[in-house]
Chains A and B, each alone.
Chain A
Amino acid sequence: MALETIRVSPGFQKFLPKEYQDLVENGPFTKERKVSELGSFKEILEEHPMCAGCAMTLFIRVTLLALPSVENSVIIGTAGCGRLALSQAAIPFVYGNYGDTNAVASGLKRGLSVRFKDKPKDVIVMAGDGGLADIGFSAVMHSWFRKEKFTTIMLDNEVYGNTGGQESGMTQKGMVLKMAPNGKKFEKMDMIGLAKTSGVAYIARIAPTNPTRVANTVRKAVLIAREVGPTYIQAYTSCNIEYAIPTPKVMDDAREVEKDRYGFMEYMTDDAKAYWEKSEADRRKLKAPQTK
């Protein structure tokens, strides 16, 4: 049914904008699209009001492409730059209150599981470092402890970008930002360590330097969350405005930061590993006869 709700009834075709029809016919709803195909089809997110060259937008664009079941996904966000783009994407988006993302996602996912027993409905939280590590910290941690089956993606720009550049818990020690006039006094919060401690099934740290890798990571996180338990992706998505990175240098910065302290890292619990290996093997088996 989910896909049917997107399709245009024949009688209405002439009334709906060309963009919508294009999205339904050529978008990522019906076919799995590769990152290399970006630009050749109508995407889930096109227009957005984020700053030119913001690495976060590229990351979000790739994430939306990688969702294993776009037509059955709901995204939850909160105040911050990311939601400016997310709320304009062709995917249901919940924008609730400050720091409530993982609590809303818990209720939503459980409710959807009660109503749709045999149909996976994916819930994905996508919010900033402030939203998840500071104001939403308690909800994030408890959703992990409770083993809620959804994915949390942190758009970690290491600053409150949307409110004009204040330090967050994820800011690096020593950085001079608003509300840290003498430089931040404590270390960047170790959310990855906390995720491990709280038993998150799949954890990844990533920078957007390799879009195919971003797509694979997102897909893996969403599928593991569906079957095993909570998953967490922490993505470096620089704020070129507050950190004064010249727009053409955004990717250079990402590469540097990646090399220096944000290298790709993946961690899975044994349960998640067992599930993933089996499901990939099944997938290959399923694909094999079709390629003949």
Chain B
Amino acid sequence: MSEGLGEEVKTNPQGDVITAAPAPTKEAKKGAAAQRVVDPDYLFLQAPREKTFITGSEAAKEAIRRANVDVAISYPITPQSETMQQVGYLYAEGYVKDYYRGEEEYGVMSAIAGASRSGVRCLSATAGPGLMRGLEVISSWPGGRLPAVLLIMCRVINAPLAIQPDNVELSYMLNTGCLLFHAENQQDFYDYALAAFMIGEKPEVTLPVAVAVDGFFVTHARGWVSLPAADIKLPPRDCYHEAVPMMDNENPPIRISRDAPIQKSNFISYQMHASWQQEIWAAQERSRKWIERWLGGLVEVVNPKAKIMIVASGAAVSQSREAVRQAAEQGIEVGLVKIKSVRPFPAEEVRAALDHAEKILVPEFNYVGWLAKEVKSTIRGSERVISGPRVFGGMSMPTELILEYIMGTPNRR
């Protein structure tokens, strides 16, 4: 919040700025009541926008303000990001209809599963260890065909535990069946989060969407974000036009076989499991046209003809852009493929963008190099890929490091 600037800024032990909870003003409440529903195309693509200089957490808040969310459920996992408490203020102001602080992530993600089944639009956000606690439940959302939006502010999950950014947790998200977008900056975090609601709720998709962002670098830092006016919002969730019936006893059939326990060892259960899983991954593919329409594609390609190409997602994209610029100063042309959607994975696009490349770098903010593995298993000639540079545990990624990888061939795959 900007009030703190200029005065003495108080921080908590983890270094986050402490903001007192302001009671919602009458004006704020009027704002929520006066919002009008607009077409998603208008909100995403046409509405006039103004630039503001805000943190990633605030960008998420601005997305939620315009997302017509019914139920938001929060938990202050350490390391904490401000987003879910910001959503609490939105609830107090009337922008979100119901909101509470759950017991812990397992409970929160389960409650999201319940809320989504009731037909309302729902949201939660978590970070690192919180995501891991919720993962058992999150992995079952797609099979239940439960649209919901989960914001992930990536943080260290492995020992020694730290509160720093590191996105190894996303490697666990890759195979859950959730759609997964990875935001580069504050602007992306706003745009992806808002579009996520509409994409996940499309009848042919009907899936949860996770929108990840590299914690701290984006959530706690400010960046320029163009926002449309706050008096417009998305249409409400249209739950009766989704792939499965709601648990509200208002639409037949009365028996919701979607939730039958398929645990018997027999041919019917194998079939059922296979068909549910096939449906999930087919539905992921069907989300592509909406990602293309509202996020401008699953990838962004810079300098498409360059012989050296970088593939990156999240905050690593920003660092790579800078490396591309610095390399150009030295007369070396480097290209960049920004992966916006990790699930569905833009396999065709990546293959096409890298076909001509002689050397491919994949800089990442994690130890395991999950994106490099994705790229290698997608393209022809995977020996062209240099899996790195990689930093982890909260380290920043100096552009010099990327440049080193561009210039030389580090002794590492």
Contact = CB atoms under 8 A, between A and B. Distances in A.
A98 B70 CA distance: 26
Contacts of B318: none
Nearest to B118: A111
Q: How large is the interface on B (under 10, 10 to 19, 20 to 34, 35 or more residues)?
A: 35 or more
Q: Which 3 A-B pairs have the closest CB atoms?
A: A111-B118, A107-B114, A107-B111
The winner among A95, A96, A104, A109 for most chain B CB atoms within 10 A is A104
Contacts of A111: 70-71, 98, 114-120, 122
Contacts of B120: 111, 114-115
Interface of A: 1-2, 5-6, 71-74, 76, 79, 83-84, 87, 90-100, 103-116, 121, 138-139, 141-142, 146
Nearest to A135: B106
Contacts of B73: 107
A142 B102 contact: yes
Contacts of A138: 103-104, 106-107
Nearest to A162: B263
B226 interface: no
Given A2-B250, A116-B248, A90 B255 contact: yes
A113 B248 CA distance: 10
B247 A94 contact: yes
A112 B118 contact: yes
A74 B260 CA distance: 13
Interface in B100-131: 100, 102-104, 106-108, 110-120, 122
A108 B117 contact: yes
Interface in B129-153: 136-137, 140, 144
A114 B71 contact: yes
B259 A107 contact: no
Contact of B110 (A5, A74, A103, A113): A103
A93 B260 CA distance: 7
A216 to B, nearest CB: 24
A108 B114 contact: yes
B254 interface: yes
A115 B140 contact: no
A292 B120 CA distance: 45
A183 B181 CA distance: 52
A92 B254 contact: yes
A107 B260 CA distance: 19
Nearest to B249: A2
A204 to B, nearest CB: 24
A98 B113 CA distance: 13
Nearest to A142: B103
Nearest to B115: A107
Contacts of A92: 247, 249, 254-256, 259
B251 interface: yes
Given A95-B259, A107-B113, 14 more contacts: A71-B249, A79-B261, A87-B260, A97-B137, A103-B102, A103-B103, A103-B107, A103-B108, A106-B107, A107-B110, A109-B114, A110-B114, A114-B118, A115-B118
Contact of A114 (B98, B254, B255, B259): B98
A56 to B, nearest CB: 16
B198 to A, nearest CB: 19
